Structure 1
Amino acid sequence: MSALLAAVGFVIVAGYAVGGAVATAYWVYRDAATRGSPRASLWALGVALLVVPVLPAYLFVRRRLPPRRDWRPTDRYAGVVAATLLTGFVVAALVAPPDPVARARWSLALSAVTAPVAYLLTERPDEARQ
């Protein structure tokens, strides 16, 4: 494997990791802010820095927050991007061989499957569900 191909694979995998953290932090911020959480910025910062422990904690606390007030279509897209990138990164890290090119291939292939599923499963406003 050439060094250039390995570098491209590394950039793709790093993009998945950083992009997933940023998209998840944005989604958490918007979700917490629209639910009236006074700590929306802290939740987003925590998720951006430590996705694994903070995201499940937020999802647990989220159940006690009031319903969302100001829903935007970009909130749904952020959720789709976050779910797609994080799933691609985590599952590729678990099943792909430990080289950057294989992980990049797995991440890209998983994204093709995850994005439509995430779009169907992400939250929509109550008006759209009727």
Structure 2
Amino acid sequence: MFVPFVVLVATSLWVSQNAAARGHGFPNALGAITAFVPIGLVAYLLVFVGRNPRQQPPTRAERGALTVLCAGTASYSVGAITLPPDPYSQGRWLIVAFAGLLPVSYLVVYRRGYRVVTRPVVRRVRAQFGRE
């Protein structure tokens, strides 16, 4: 229960901080809705982020929440592929995977390693839709 709760709080915090930096009228409400609606994060990323540029640089709290969010998402992905199907052992190893992926997530978020990953993907998507 530790990792899902931490990822849920980090998701809500990141969405509210990011929405405030993009000029949303009710960022805290949006963060709370995102925490309780499973598809809320995907809808926020697809609908709101693309249409509203940032007006402020990211804060330390926002980057910290994004670091935890990325590590949690990666640990779930790694866990789904590599961990045994036993729920007890999955719970234990999910915490280990989360702790192991926190430094990697830190490098991606704080050291701008995401640009290495996202630039080729964005270029390929733009070429696919004829925008480049």
TM-score, normalising length from structure 2? 0.69
The amino acid across from 1:32 in the alignment is: A
Higher relative contact order, chain-length normalized (CA < 8 Å, sep 6+): 1
Runs of 5+ consecutive residues of structure 1 not aligned to the other structure:
1-13, 126-130
* DSSP 3-state at the match of 1:67: coil
The answer for the alignment partner of 1:86 in structure 2 is 73
Structure 1 residues 90 and 16, CA, compared in 2 at 3 Å: closer, same or farther? farther
The amino acid across from 2:40 in the alignment is: V
From 3, 9, 12, the counterpart of 1:25: 12
Query: C-alpha root-mean-square deviation of aligned residues, in Å?
Result: 2.5
Question: What CA distance in whole angstroms lies between the structure 2 residues aligned with 1:56 and 1:123?
Answer: 22
1:59 paired to 2:45: yes
Structure 1 residues 124 and 91, CA, compared in 2 at 3 Å: closer, same or farther? closer
TM-score, normalising length from structure 1? 0.70
Quote how far apart the aligned CAs of 1:118 are.
1.5
Does the 8 A contact of 1:21 with 1:86 survive in 2? Answer: no
The amino acid across from 1:100 in the alignment is: P
Quote how far apart the aligned CAs of 1:99 are.
2.9
Question: What CA distance in whole angstroms lies between the structure 1 residues aligned with 2:28 and 2:110?
Answer: 21
Question: What CA distance in whole angstroms lies between the structure 2 residues aligned with 1:123 and 1:45?
Answer: 25
Question: What CA distance in whole angstroms lies between the structure 2 residues aligned with 1:49 and 1:97?
Answer: 28
The amino acid across from 2:109 in the alignment is: T
1:117 paired to 2:104: yes
CA offsets per residue over residues 1-25 of structure 1, 9 Å max, x none? Answer: xxxxxxxxxxxxx111121111111
Point out the more displaced range, 108-117 or 25-34.
108-117
